[in-house]
Structure 1
Amino acid sequence: MDVFTLTVVNAFIAVVVTAVLAFQNKAERQFRYQRYFMLAALCTLLNAIFSMIHYVGEPLPYWLSPALTNTLSVGAHIALAAGIHRHLQLSGKRIWLLLVFLAIYILHFTDFALSHVANRMLIAIPTVILLNFWCMQMLWQHRRNEHGKVYLAFIATFAFNIMQFSLRSAYMALEHYQLLQTQHSAVIYSIGFFSLTAFAILIFGCIIMLSHSQQQQALLKLSERDPLTGLLNRRSLELRLAGELNRAARTQTPVSLLLMDIDHFKQVNDTLGHAAGDLAIKHIADLTTELSRDYDVIFRFGGEEFLICLPNTEPETAKQIANRIRQTIEQHPLLTPAPLSLTVSIGVASSKHAIDWQDLLQHADEALYQAKHLGRNCVQSYN
């Protein structure tokens, strides 16, 4: 396959990816990092268009080809790095990447770049390799999150790109300094362009995979989260509790549950309305989240009921945590036009007395019933 055909293929890939990302960006505007990936596709498209004009024999000024085409090739990698940086929500300004783009273009007008094509490659290729290494480093640090498999695919693709650019640069340097002579230069250059096409296919495939993975995660969070409080809902309870009990059985550590109910919540709805009731529920959820540890799991169990799973927590420690939550809620009224004092009753149960998660939940429910029977605004452990 000749270089012109490969350039046409690159242009087609860039058009398709730009269109797909534009449709996705319109449908999912919260994924703003995709705009950088669209910019990468546009850089690839413009590079391919100018290259096709050059290969059909139309004369182009130096500032357009090779100066701008080489810079657009680097620009595509800059946009990819900026998109990954934005997606991972890392700190730091991305404006300096634009300065790198401008610097690469300006360097093409130095005597060093004007003297030989190999020198122009020595300006562009090391920059691309450094950008690829930076992308790999960013992705590697986040490989354990929910998109980890997609990140590993990105890393493998960037590693392939580094390898092909390094080999091509080494060959060009050896050829330039007449340390290597071969009759297959045209074939080798075609293989280099094919590698660029393969990289374009792989990297844009990874971009589509990332968008799909994020959409799946967003749908999953919508299905398992309570829209009012953002807490896990009852639908996700069985899987989470069963997982915690299984882990506790393997590690021989206790799991405790706190089942919490807002006292006299019906009166809040009846006297102040359901809007105030929603504010009360969210107020309780926010306070409970602030007081919980990073590894605790909180559910909105029912209308005004909350369930808190405390991994690796002894019954006495769980009771102390429950009392701290109860006291904090009592001491922090909801700031409506008239401060609304709220209290909660909490039942505590431990896996030491339970066979499975249903038993544990039943024990917590019985302890909560005892707490209500004793006058509410108290903590009761299961006996």
Structure 2
Amino acid sequence: MDLFTLTVVNAFIALVATGVLAMQGQADRQFRYQRYFLLAGGCMLLNAGISAIHFSGILLPYWLIPALTNSLSVGASLALAAGIHRHLQKPGKRFGLLLVFILLFVLHLTEFARSDINHRFLISIPVVLLLNLWCISMLWQHRKTELGKVYLAFIATFAFNILQFVFRTTFMVLEQHQIIQTSIAPVVHNVGFFALTAFAILVFCCIILLSHSQQRQMLQQLSERDALTGLLNRRTLELRLNAEFSRCQRNNSTLCLLLLDADYFKQINDKLGHATGDLAVQHIAKIADQQLRDYDLLFRYGGEEFLLCLPDTDLPAALQIAERLRLAINSAPLFTPQPYFLTVSIGVASSKDSQSWQTLLQQADQALYLAKHQGRNQVQSYQPTAAVSR
């Protein structure tokens, strides 16, 4: 297959990929990183288009090919790196990548780059390799997250691109120094074009896979989260508690549940309105979330009730956490706009006294009722001998 046909095929693939990414970007505007992937597709399309015109026999000026085409090839890698950087929400500005592109184009216009193709390789190839390695480094740090399999696919794709660039560059250097036979050069160049095409297709597939996986992840999170507070909802409670209770039993450790209820919540709704009641629920949820450890679980259990799951925590430690949480809520006023101080009652139960998570939840509920019965605004633990009539 001649170079003109190969570049036309590359241009067609880039056109399709860019069109799909543009439509996907319109449909999923919340994924702002996709604009960078669209820019990468545009760079590939423009590069392939200019190359196709050149290989058709039309003489183009140096600033178009190879100066601009080489810069666009690097620009695609820059845009991919910027998209991954944006997707992973890494700190730092991405404007510097545009400056790198401009600098590369200017360097290609110098006499140093004009004089020898090896000089142009020296300018562009190291930048592409460093960008690909940077992408691999960023993605590798997140390989154990929920999107880890997608990131590993990206890593494999960038590794493939690095290998093909190293192979092609090594061959061209050896060819320049007449170390290998030049008769196989057309075959190697064709393989190189096929490798670039394969890389473009693989990257495109990874981008689509990333978008679909993130959409699925968002839908799953929406089904698991409470709309008002963003906490885990009651639908996910059974699955999560069952898993944590089973794990603690296997490890012979203790699991504690805290059932928290806002005191006199009906008065807030009646006197201040349901909108203020919603603010109060959000206020408690925010404080509770700030007080917990990374591995604790926080659910919105009911209207003004919250359930806290504390793995690997014994009863004395759970009581300390509950008291600290109660004091934190008491000391942080809700502004309505006047300051309004909330109080909460908390019931605590330990898995040492139960054989199932359902029983543990009932015991936490009994402890909460005991706290309410004894005057509210306090923490009580489950007492097997205590009988409180409702």
Q: What is the Cα deviation at residue 119 of structure 1?
A: 2.9
1:254–1:311 CA contact under 8 A, matched in 2: yes
Amino acid at match of 1:291: Q
**TM-score where L is the length of structure 2:** 0.95
Say if 2:224 is the partner of 1:224: yes
Task: Check whether the contact 1:122–1:169 (CA below 8 A) recurs between aligned residues.
Answer: no
Q: Could you tell me how far apart the structure 1 residues matched to 2:104 and 2:333 are?
A: 60
Answering whether residue 74 of structure 2 is matched by residue 71 of structure 1, we say: no
Q: Which runs of 4+ in 1 moved over 6 A?
A: none
Aligned residue number for residue 135 of structure 2 = 135
Question: Match of 1:90?
Answer: 90
Residue 234 (1) aligns with residue 223 (2): no
Give unmatched runs, 5+ long, in structure 2. Answer: 384-390
Mapped to 2, the partners of 1:219 and 1:13 lie a distance apart of 31
- In the alignment, the residues of structure 2 paired with residue 341 and residue 135 of structure 1 have an alpha-carbon distance, to the nearest angstrom, of 49
> Is the Cα contact below 8 Å between 1:85 and 1:138 reproduced in 2?
yes
SS where residue 61 of structure 2 aligns?
coil
1:101 and 2:89 aligned: no
Counterpart contact for 1:262–1:342, Cα < 8 Å: yes
Structure-to-structure mapping, 1:262-273, within 5 angstroms: 262-273=262-273
Letter in 1 for 2:54: H
Distance 2:124 2:242 in 1: 54
Cα deviation, residue 49, structure 1: 0.6
1:275-314 equivalences in 2 (<5 Å): 275-314=275-314
> Following the alignment from structure 1 to structure 2, what is the Cα–Cα distance between the partners of residues 10 and 303?
58
The answer on 1:245 being equivalent to 2:245 is: yes
SS of the aligned residue for 2:256 comes to strand
Match of 1:338 in 2: 338
Aligned match of 2:213: 213
Output the CA distance in 1 between the equivalents of 2:110 and 2:263.
77
For 1:330 and 1:119, the matched residues in 2 are separated by 69
Whole-Å separation in 2 of the counterparts to 1:152 and 1:263 = 49
* 1:329 Cα deviation after fit: 1.6
Query: What secondary structure sits across from 1:180 in the alignment?
Result: coil
Deviation readout 1:241-295 (Å, 9 max, x if unpaired): 1111122122221110000111111111111110010011111111111211122
Alignment of 1:312-327 (within 5 A): 312-327=312-327
Query: Is residue 36 of structure 2 the alignment partner of residue 43 of structure 1?
Result: no
Deviations 1:170-209 (A, max 9, x none): 0000110112224211111000000000000001111111
- Which amino acid letter does the alignment assign opposite residue 147 of structure 2? H
1:380 matched to which residue of 2?
380
In structure 2, the residue matched to 1:29 is 29
* AA of the residue aligned to 2:137: Q
Counterpart in the other structure of 2:257: 257
The superposition leaves residues 101-151 of structure 1 with CA deviations (integer Å, 9 ceiling, x where unpaired) of: 112112222233212333322322221111101110111111111111111
CA contact (8 A) 1:259 1:306 kept: yes
* Structure 2 partner of 1:190: 190
- Superposition TM-score, scaled by structure 1 size: 0.97
Taking the aligned partners of 1:354 and 1:127, their CA distance within structure 2 comes to: 61
Q: Which stretch shows the higher mean deviation, 83-92 or 1-10?
A: 1-10
- 1:175 matched to which residue of 2? 175
- The alignment partner of 2:266 has SS state of helix
Of stretches 318-327 and 256-265 in structure 1, the one that deviates more from structure 2 is 318-327
Aligned 1:12-23 pairs, distance under 5 A: 12-23=12-23
- Equivalent-residue separation in structure 1 for 2:339 and 2:95 (angstroms): 47
> What do the CA deviations read for 1:4-62 (whole angstroms, capped 9, x no partner)?
22212221221222222222222222211111100000000000110110111011111
SS of aligned partner of 1:29: coil
Shift of 1:82: 0.8
For the residues of structure 2 that align with 1:19 and 1:217, how far apart are their CA atoms?
Answer: 24
- Mapped to 2, the partners of 1:164 and 1:177 lie a distance apart of 20
Structure 1: 5+ residue stretches without partners: none
The match for 1:116 is 116
Structure 1, 52-61 or 178-187: larger mean CA deviation = 178-187
- Cα deviation per residue 1:81-108 (whole Å; 9 max; x = unaligned)? 1111111111122222112111211222
Q: Which moved more, 1:118-127 or 1:285-294?
A: 118-127
Instruction: Give 1:304 deviation, angstroms.
Output: 0.7
One-letter amino acid matched to 2:111: D
Counterpart CA distance in 1 for 2:123 and 2:332 is: 62
CA distance in 2, matches of 1:254, 1:217: 31
Deviates more, 1:232-241 or 1:122-131: 122-131
Give the 3-state SS of the residue equivalent to 2:340 in structure 1. coil
Distance 2:235 2:19 in 1: 37
State which drifts further: 138-147 or 297-306. 138-147
- Tell me how far apart the structure 2 counterparts of residues 364 and 13 of structure 1 sit (CA, whole Å): 60
State the Cα RMSD in Å: 1.2
Aligned residue in 2 for 1:358: 358
The number of equivalent residue pairs is 383
Q: Is the 8 A contact 1:154 1:206 kept in 2?
A: yes
Q: 1:8 to 1:361 in 2, by over 3 A?
A: same
Instruction: Give a deviation string over 1:307-328, Cα, whole Å, max 9, x none.
Output: 0001111011111111111122
1:341 Cα offset (Å):
2.2
Give the Cα separation in 2 of the matches to 1:286 and 1:273: 20
Deviation at 1:338, TM superposition (A): 2.6
